[in-house]
Structure 1
Amino acid sequence: MNRLLVTVTALAALITAPLATTESVAAAGTAKAGCTAGTGPYQRQLEGFLRLPVDGVQSVRDCEAIRRFQARRHVRPADGRANLWTYRMMLVAQAGKDPNKAGRCPVRAFKVTCVDMSRQLLWVQRGRTVLFGPVPMRTGRDGQETRPGPHRIYYRHRDHLSTLYADAPMPYSQFFDRGQAIHGTPHDLYNGGGSAGCVNLRLPDAKRLWSLLKVGDQVYVWGTKPGTAG
């Protein structure tokens, strides 16, 4: 009986072994799938940031490094292509914990919402302490630029609908200058075209900012959005 049991056990092992091997190979292939995305419009910028050879031409090494960065920053799809969304998140990463290193946003004892149109970044600081962000944003397109300078929030409406653009939703609106507001958008923030003058944020960021600010808080806007005359 013992010899028969051993034989049956060995036979079962031989039958199941090929299936296990096939599954293992498939899993390994998925884990090491080749990165095949082509050269992106922000190839050189990502290569420089990731300390890769800067030649503006995608390589397998470039693709894999960009894909790892995208995964860390929750860029979807994380396919290794140096697209606009990835570039925007690169600017966030570059800004790090000191987005006001150049000193362009005024340092005050009270809260200031800093709107850097050149880098398309927004953050809130009190003194030199960053309370929120930096996060990516989108300001006005050419001909409808967000107005620069110091402003103050004068009106807030959580579920605002645009009176100019067919009741378009403007959730978490915080108005700071003659109809221009910081608000969330349910649409693609990274389409490159720009807003109609407002400061657009991703919805989760707009919701967090809503809970931090109030009427009377200062907003400071400066710089030039890429692709506009300024």
Structure 2
Amino acid sequence: MRVTGNTRGVRTRRALALSVAGLTATSTLVLGTGGSAQAASCTTSTGPYQKQVEKYLHRPVDGRQSAADCKAIRSFQRTYGVTPDIGYAGPITWRTMKTLTAQKAAGKNPNKAKKCPTNRGRIACVDLTRQLSWIQDGSKLKFGPVPVRTGRNGYETRTGSSKIYLRHINHWSTLYNVPMPYSQFFDGGQAFHSVGVKMWNPPGSHGCVNMRPADAKAYWNLLKNGDDVYVYGRKPGT
């Protein structure tokens, strides 16, 4: 069939009208009326740890969720990788706040309780309870403490003494099909290695001790095969 110029013009105008209509509909869906999409992402529900979370965030402690409470909680969740980030004062958010408080309290004396051995020379210590790790020589702190992300429920990082037995700077996990930079294996398939997520991002690893890239690199430079590793405590939520 022959297409005339007039027919082409009608079709063009119809296509343009449909495109504009589609764009308008999409914009309405995404933006909503008066920012409804943004409001919908922030919960109005009062969480079971509302008062504790309000106190931590220096909010008025009344145990009732408000728009300002939700905004402050959601900002915290996004900063520390807590999901879902909808401003709900639930157990994961409160657990993260308690862990951060314990990490801050550790300061530069993470082994104050002497739970990590001080008679083995250089040793990497991992405290599952506080989600902290550090390196010491005897009782002298060499690096850290730094936050870590250990095994989730069902894949707990094993406790006890071990030694680094394999190091691979550009390791690739064939089991989970993910990169594991600066891998230093110390117990079966469990290793120190770098990841690209927040250290407080739930639920945790598959048993490895996840670290921030700079910390994993520092561990790589400070440790070697045969160095001791000591893991103790229990990760909150496991």
* TM score, norm. by length of structure 2: 0.63
Counterpart residue identity of residue 204, structure 1:
A
* Counterpart position of 1:13: none
Q: What is the one-letter code of the residue matched to 1:131?
A: K
Gaps of 5+ in 1: 1-35
- 2: CA distance, partners of 1:94 / 1:47: 20
Is the alpha carbon distance of 1:227 and 1:215 closer, same or farther for their aligned partners in structure 2, counting shifts above 3 Å? same
Do the aligned residues in 2 keep the contact of 1:107 with 1:127 (CA within 8 Å)?
A: yes
Does 2:181 align with 1:148? no
Counterpart check, 1:192 vs 2:197: no
Shifted more, 184-193 versus 84-93: the winner is 84-93
Shift of 1:43: 6.4
In the TM superposition, what is the alpha-carbon distance from 1:139 to its structure 2 partner?
Answer: 1.3
1:131 aligns with 2:142: yes
Q: Report the equivalent of 1:173.
A: 183
How much identity, in percent, do the aligned residues show? 54
Structure 2 alignment gaps of length 5 or more: 1-41, 82-86
Look up the SS of the partner of 2:103 in the other structure.
helix
Q: Secondary structure at the match of 2:186?
A: strand
Q: Deviations over 1:137-194 (max 9, x none)?
A: 111122221111101001100000012112x100100000112111111234322212
- Per the alignment, do residues 37 and 197 of structure 1 end up closer, same or farther by CA in structure 2, a change over 3 Å counting? same
1:122 aligned to 2:133?
yes
Task: Tell me the residue number matched to 1:101.
Answer: 112
Q: Are the counterparts in 2 of residues 45 and 87 from structure 1 also a CA contact under 8 Å?
A: no
Give the 4+ runs in structure 1 shifted more than 6 A.
36-63
- 1:54, distance to aligned residue in structure 2 (A): 7.5
| Kept after mapping to 1: 8 A contact 2:80/2:198 | no
1:24-63 alignment to 2 at 5 Å? none
- Distance change in 2, residues 1:186/1:51 (3 Å): closer
CA–CA distance in structure 2, aligned partners of residues 109 and 214 of structure 1: 14
Question: 1:218 maps to what in 2?
Answer: 228
CA contact (8 A) 2:120 2:228 kept: no
Instruction: Report if aligned partners of 1:46, 1:90 keep a CA contact under 8 Å in 2.
Output: no
2-structure distance, mates of 1:110, 1:43: 45
Cα distance change on mapping 1:156 and 1:57 into 2, 3 Å: farther
- The Cα of 1:118 is off from its aligned counterpart by 1.2
**Following the alignment from structure 2 to structure 1, what is the Cα–Cα distance between the partners of residues 140 and 59?**
32
SS of structure 2 residue aligned to 1:125: strand
Give CA deviations for 1:11-44 in whole Å, capped at 9, x if unaligned. xxxxxxxxxxxxxxxxxxxxxxxxx999888766
Q: Residue 80 of structure 2 contacts residue 201 of structure 2 at CA under 8 Å; is this kept in 1?
A: no
Q: Residue by residue, what CA displacement relative to the aligned partner does 1:85-105 show, whole Å, maximum 9, x if unpaired?
A: 655443321110111111111
Distance 1:177 1:62, change over 3 A: same
Question: CA 1:217 to 1:116, structure 2 compared with 1: closer, same or farther past 3 Å?
Answer: same
> 2:191 matched to 1:161?
no
Report the CA distance between 1:121 and its aligned residue.
0.8
**Equivalences, count:** 186
TM score, norm. by length of structure 1: 0.65
2:223 maps to amino acid: L
CA offsets 1:123-148 (integer angstroms, 9 cap, x no match):
11112221111111111122221111
What is the alpha-carbon distance in structure 2 between the residues aligned to residue 190 and residue 226 of structure 1?
A: 11
